[in-house]
Amino acid sequence: MVQQAAKEVIPLMTPYKMGQFQLSHRGVLAPLTRCRSYGNVPQPHAAVYYSQRATKGGLLIAEATGVSATAQGYPEAPGIWTQEQVEAWKPIVDAVHRRRPP
């Protein structure tokens, strides 16, 4: 009879406490600057992009985001210096948060 191997613990898949956040694993989406925020306003497709990559208990780091019109590192990167930009981030954040566990 073949013995079953003990279940191997994979560190990447173990829970981790980061400050006040309890992550269910250690895989993190790094900030990938996509340069698809035309006029520096986040676009609706970003909600799909980020929510597809969200995992319950995971961590996503949003792409490079400018804080002023003169602080842009990349063309067409999203910003947060106008109300229009801030409002455009809300459906993106909401889409990611819908992936959270209840």
**Residue ranges covered by each domain of the chain:** 14-98
Checking if the pLDDT of 102 tops 90, the result is no
> pLDDT tens digits, residue range 51-93?
999 988 899 999 999 999 998 889 999 999 999 999 999 999 9
Q: Please name the residue ranges forming H helices in 1-102.
A: 45-53, 83-97
Q: How far is CA 30 from the centre of its chain?
A: 8
> pLDDT tens digits, residue range 82-93?
999 999 999 999
Q: Which residues contact 92 (CB under 8 A, 6 or more apart)?
A: 42, 46, 47, 50
The pLDDT assigned to 7 comes to 81
Q: Taking all residues of the chain, what is their mean pLDDT, rounded to a whole number? A: 91
